[in-house]
Amino acid sequence: MSNLNPKIKLNKKENINIDKIYSGLLQGDRFSLGKAITLIESTKPTHKEMTKKLISECLKTQKDTLRIGITGAPGVGKSSLLEKLGMYIIEKGFKPAVLAIDPSSNISGGSILGDKTRMPELSMSENAFIRPSPAGKNLGGVAKKTNESIIAVECAGFNPIFVETVGVGQSETAVHSMTDLFILLIQPGAGDDIQGIKRGIMEMADIIVVNKADGENIINAEKTFNQYSGIISLLPEKESGWKTKIMMISALTGNGVKELWQIITEYENNAKTTGYYRKNRKNQNLSLFNEYLFNNLIEIFNTDPNLNSLYTETKKKVETGLMSYYDAGDFLLKLLTK
């Protein structure tokens, strides 16, 4: 870990001062930000309460940042691209942050490869903030924490925020639901099947980037580019009015990084001019809210000692078709509210 991106351990004896952390964030203090995220990632009930307070404060100082989701199969070069793109925009005066979600890793608090290895230059820059999300099996939990981390990172003045994930599970849908712009990174190769890209991910992408367009790969990269161009041309316009763009890049040589940033900027300008940016954020907030409400409802059914067994039994009847879903639903909601 770079000293510049500290993973602060919360000292048991230490008095955590939320006001101090918050004012640290407002000053862009990296140490406070590290502490804030460690707090966000903590599962201790007292820390959860403190997180709640901190995030409520942060929400008061919201900015019009750009949240960029980036997904792609393992080995496609997400980190290398972020390294190059990050350094490029730092030169332009930006302060990028990278939050990485790796649902396949179970090592708490970090990704398998350290940030230093993955993004050597970026992780050493004092104008960047990199942080892997704690992995875990509960995607809802990870999503909530990532969302909170985004808010904290923004509060500390970082922008844009890259949220990186491996596009093989369900995490990319979660990332899509909390970003303004979604980039799918692919590599030269023979179709989706081999790249392990799940159905629907392509539909979510605003920009498709064919990486590794360098050396001997160029011909294959062009082939892949043409294949995807064909598909994209047939996809209808997105709600944002944006037509999915596709481009080639080399994260190795840096070729195309400038053009990618141009497209990202074009997207941002377009979304902010048309009002889609605000509308999308609003819808995202509502969706996350609805999802959270539903998940917690199920949580109540699963954990309440009075409801638990009735819920399991009823659910089983629904699954096997012995009970209609609406009878079952009416029955359970009546139990809950009576």
Q: Residues interacting with a copy of itself, by CB under 8 A?
A: 52, 55-56, 59-60, 62, 144, 147-148, 151, 191-193, 197-200, 203, 227, 230-231, 233-238, 281-282, 285-286, 288-290, 292-294, 296-298, 300, 315, 318-330, 332-333, 336-337
- Smallest gap from Cβ 272 to a copy of itself, in A, equals 16
Looking up tokens 């141009």 gives 262
Of 54 and 130, nearer to a copy of itself (C-beta) is: 54
- Smallest gap from Cβ 215 to a copy of itself, in A, equals 25
Of 121 and 330, nearer to a copy of itself (C-beta) is: 330
Of 113 and 231, nearer to a copy of itself (C-beta) is: 231
Of 130 and 150, nearer to a copy of itself (C-beta) is: 150
Contact in structure between 123 and 98 (CB atoms under 8 Å): no
Contact in structure between 26 and 11 (CB atoms under 8 Å): no
Residue 198 DSSP label:
P
What residues contact 71, with CB distance under 8 A and at least 6 apart? 78, 164, 165, 166, 167, 172, 175, 182, 183, 184, 185, 201
Cα pseudo-dihedral 131, 132, 136, 142, rounded to 10: 50
The DSSP-derived string for 228-278 is: HHHHHHHSPPPTTSPPPEEEE--TTT-TTHHHHHHHHHHHHHHHHHHTHHH
Through-space distance between the first and last CA atoms of the chain, rounded to whole angstroms: 53
Of 233 and 274, nearer to a copy of itself (C-beta) is: 233
- Smallest gap from Cβ 177 to a copy of itself, in A, equals 11
- Smallest gap from Cβ 199 to a copy of itself, in A, equals 6
Alpha-carbon gap, residue 131 to 153, rounded angstroms? 10
Of 125 and 314, nearer to a copy of itself (C-beta) is: 314
- Smallest gap from Cβ 291 to a copy of itself, in A, equals 8
Of 113 and 298, nearer to a copy of itself (C-beta) is: 298
Phi, psi of 24 (to 5 degrees): -60, -45
- Smallest gap from Cβ 244 to a copy of itself, in A, equals 10
Cα-Cα-Cα-Cα dihedral sign, residues 57, 157, 244, 217: negative
- Smallest gap from Cβ 292 to a copy of itself, in A, equals 4
Of 230 and 241, nearer to a copy of itself (C-beta) is: 230
Between vectors from CA 81 to CA 78 and to CA 86, what angle results, nearest 5°?
120
Cα-Cα-Cα-Cα dihedral sign, residues 235, 240, 246, 251: negative
Of 219 and 297, nearer to a copy of itself (C-beta) is: 297
- Smallest gap from Cβ 332 to a copy of itself, in A, equals 7
Alpha-carbon gap, residue 282 to 71, rounded angstroms? 23
- Smallest gap from Cβ 245 to a copy of itself, in A, equals 16
Give helix 45-59 / helix 18-26 axis angle, nearest 10°. Answer: 40
